[in-house]
Amino acid sequence: MFSANRVIQGENLPVLQQLPAGSFTLIYVDPPFNTGRRQQRHHTATTRVADGTGDRIGFKGQSYTSVRTRLASYDDQFIDYWDFLMPRLQEAWRLLAEDGTLYVHLDYREVHYAKVMMDIIFGRECFLNEIIWAYDYGAKSKRSWPAKHDTILVYVKDPKKYHFDSTEVDREPYMAPGLVTKEKAQRGKLPTDVWWHTIVSPTGREKTGYPTQKPLGILRRIITASSRPGDWVLDFFAGSGTTGAAAAELGRNFVLIDQNDEAIDVMRKRLPESTLFTEQLPAQGR
């Protein structure tokens, strides 16, 4: 791998294809929720349940033609997103170490489709968690229950070898502290798969101005639980660089990828001065 933390500016798929397999203990991605959705009608022929004879073979030899077709019957626009995200998640599987974990951060509009996609790539036996990140800021709809959460899907490369250590993560206050001992109430409890954490404050010191910035607290918890000091962490939709900032703070190494000029500018200001910025993958990383 690289000798130093690195930010690579460029389209992420060709960069991912050049990185060495099994290099990362942790991959976190926060992909654009609606990238690739073109407003046009798709006509996909009906097929039987996938039996390995489809015209397109998914990762690990699995046919996903019929799955893709069934999804199209519910939401034909999703197919563009499927074609966008599928090869990148395939690369994530290849790049994970045997003890590695992938966190995919999505919202309610795409997460259920992505769950099916990731079951195909990783296998359902490698599904670890569905984390609900609940927050308390934003618009308040009067015609439906206001949407106040994101979903983070967690998959492991090998269900018998993955690294997970909850003992070092931040603890949360008990919702009913009177029901536990004073010592337990003071110590707090380990997080469950529902995380109550506010968004980045619009007026707080953490705010960078990048529109999709995620809180450091969320990434600290993920990185602490699913990697060790000195491990390599990857984020190929890096945005404001929160993954890199949290990784550096916790003594992990990182590779971040983004093609957006605004994102690169934010990361140059935010990340440690020792971080190397490149516009293409150097020869030693291939």
Is residue 70 one of the residues assigned to a domain?
A: no
List, in sequence order, the alpha helices (H) in 109-190: 111-122, 182-187
Is residue 57 one of the residues assigned to a domain?
A: no
Is residue 182 one of the residues assigned to a domain?
A: yes
What angle (nearest 5°) sits at the alpha carbon of residue 252, between those of residues 152 and 32? 35
Is residue 66 one of the residues assigned to a domain?
A: no
Tokens standing for residue 6: 């690195």
Is residue 236 one of the residues assigned to a domain?
A: yes
Is residue 13 one of the residues assigned to a domain?
A: yes
**Domain of residue 221, residue span:** 6-40+77-285
| CATH number of the domain to which 256 belongs | 3.40.50.150
Closest CA to 12 of 218, 285, 280, 209: 280
Tally of domains within the chain: 1
Phi/psi at 133 (5° precision): -100, 110
How do residues 167-212 score in pLDDT, each as one tens digit? 889 998 888 888 999 899 989 899 999 999 888 887 788 888 888 8
Mean pLDDT by 10 residues, the chain (286 residues): 92 96 97 56 34 47 64 63 88 98 91 89 95 84 88 97 94 89 90 91 83 92 98 97 97 97 95 93 55
Is residue 206 one of the residues assigned to a domain?
A: yes
Please state, as a whole number, how many other Cβ atoms lie within 10 Å of the Cβ of residue 18. Answer: 13
Locate the DSSP E strands across the chain.
6-9, 24-29, 96-106, 127-134, 149-156, 194-196, 232-235, 253-258, 276-278
Is residue 56 one of the residues assigned to a domain?
A: no
